[in-house]
Amino acid sequence: MNRFAHGGDTYGKSVRLDFSVNTAPLGPDEKILSAVREGENFFGVYPDIEYRDLREKIARRESVDIENVVCSNGASEMIFAVTRAVMPKTALLISPSFSEYERALLSVGAEIRYYDLREEDGFALRGDFLDALRGADMAFVCNPNNPTGNVFDRDILEKAAKQCEKSGAVLAADECFIDFTDACSLKGKAPVIKAFTKTYALAGLRLGYLIADGAFAEKVKKQLPAWNVSIAAALAGEAAAYDTAYIEKNVSIIKKERDFLSKRLSEAGFKTFKSDANFLLIKGAAGMDKKLLDRGILIRSCSNFRGLGGNFYRVAVKTRAENEELIRKLGDICG
């Protein structure tokens, strides 16, 4: 088993519907794709090494200054850059959560401690997380969490950020799914990592960014290569930065379809955990993912997430027709 495998690996497989990746259900917005196509004459030149236009638009979107924004080739690159900027000796990770935090920390030789979420608590963050933070130089928190989908308690997160600030530790907040929720950001209280990947369904273009105070942003910037964001990705980001109507359409679909999918999966006998995001964590029979793949549907096995087993799966919330197709195929398998 590959501990660092991810969803979206459709290559070499016959996949009609991909529920293994958590991108916006409407797919890429035509306005964004059009902006990329219109900029094709620039593909033969280097991008602005400072990404001024892109950073300015992101800064306005996030209501921060341009020096607080650093751009990256997706959120994963930023996770590694933030880790190298800190070079922690000891780090704390929530479990289960996104595996790239662990991979980044291992790459710098950090000792990793784990804070285990409990199934019986609905994978909620508990108050003793603050105790677990003591002695750590760095911690990552994914909010809403991947793969559980739940938003963590705001009071605990803000106390954690304040505690880390006082101790000199860095609490890095991965908020790649937060625009699909009503959760409050840690922006201004901790370094925040976001991406256009999920929010605008631009996984193939790879565009992420960091929001942090100017001094930390500069440290992170030094860990990134020059021209790490392509012209195409930058153009897409500039077009997407003010495209709030697209997000609103997707959020409306997500809320409605998440309730529908959760209800239907529960009725079908799956244990379905409460989610605030655009995906659901479910518990079913081991091997279910392989049977679905035989029928052209890919879901995310959570067997390689620390703290979960082979009977846990993550499924994206998609459109009604796609969600109904998933339910029908699960009925064929389990009925």
Which CATH number covers residue 289? 3.90.1150.10
Query: Is 169 contained in some domain?
Result: yes
Last residue of a domain, one of 185, 210, 242: 242
Query: What token pair was written down for 224?
Result: 């990134």
Question: Do 67 and 95 belong to one domain?
Answer: yes
Question: Do 196 and 249 belong to one domain?
Answer: no
Question: Do 276 and 227 belong to one domain?
Answer: no
Query: Is 177 contained in some domain?
Result: yes
DSSP output for 36-48: HHHTGGGTTSPPP
DSSP 8-state secondary structure symbol assigned to residue 314 = E
Question: Do 74 and 189 belong to one domain?
Answer: yes
Q: At what angle do helices 74-86 and 214-221 cross, to 10 degrees?
A: 100
pLDDT of amino acid 43: 94
How many structural domains is the chain composed of? 2
* pLDDT tens profile 239-296: 999 899 999 999 999 999 999 999 999 999 999 999 999 999 999 998 999 999 999 9
Question: Do 319 and 224 belong to one domain?
Answer: no
89, 224 contact by CB (below 8 A): no
Query: Is 74 contained in some domain?
Result: yes
pLDDT of amino acid 11: 82
Question: Do 266 and 204 belong to one domain?
Answer: no
Question: Do 37 and 169 belong to one domain?
Answer: yes
Per the structure, the complete domain to which residue 258 belongs is given by 17-27+245-334
Query: Is 141 contained in some domain?
Result: yes
Locate all alpha helices (DSSP H) within the chain, ordered by sequence. 30-38, 52-62, 74-86, 100-107, 129-133, 154-167, 196-199, 214-221, 231-240, 244-267, 288-293, 320-334
Last residue of a domain, one of 227, 242, 257: 242
- 293 to 17, 147, 192: CA distances (angstroms): 9, 20, 35
| Among candidate residues 192, 203, 161, the one with its CA nearest the CA of residue 24 | 203
**How many Cα atoms occupy the beta-carbon half-sphere of 259 within 13 Å?**
5
Question: Do 147 and 207 belong to one domain?
Answer: yes
Question: Do 127 and 276 belong to one domain?
Answer: no
DSSP 8-state secondary structure symbol assigned to residue 183 = P
Question: Do 121 and 153 belong to one domain?
Answer: yes
- 4 to 11, 97, 142, 274, 304: CA distances (angstroms): 17, 11, 16, 25, 7
DSSP 8-state secondary structure symbol assigned to residue 99 = T
The C-alpha angle 231, 236, 242, rounded to 5 degrees, equals: 135
Query: Is 119 contained in some domain?
Result: yes
Last residue of a domain, one of 207, 242, 277: 242
Query: Is 3 contained in some domain?
Result: no
CATH code, domain with 169: 3.40.640.10
pLDDT of amino acid 1: 60
pLDDT of amino acid 9: 75
Q: Helix, strand or coil for residue 283?
A: strand
- 80 to 99, 244, 289, 297, 309: CA distances (angstroms): 12, 29, 30, 31, 27
What stretches in the chain show pLDDT beneath 50? none
Query: Is 264 contained in some domain?
Result: yes
Q: What is the pTM of this model?
A: 0.95
* pLDDT tens profile 305-331: 999 988 999 999 999 999 999 999 998
Query: Is 81 contained in some domain?
Result: yes
3-state SS, 225-278, equals CCCCCCHHHHHHHHHHCCCHHHHHHHHHHHHHHHHHHHHHHHHCCCEECCCCCC
Question: Do 84 and 222 belong to one domain?
Answer: yes
Question: Do 161 and 303 belong to one domain?
Answer: no
What residues pair up with 172 in beta bridges, in sequence order? 140
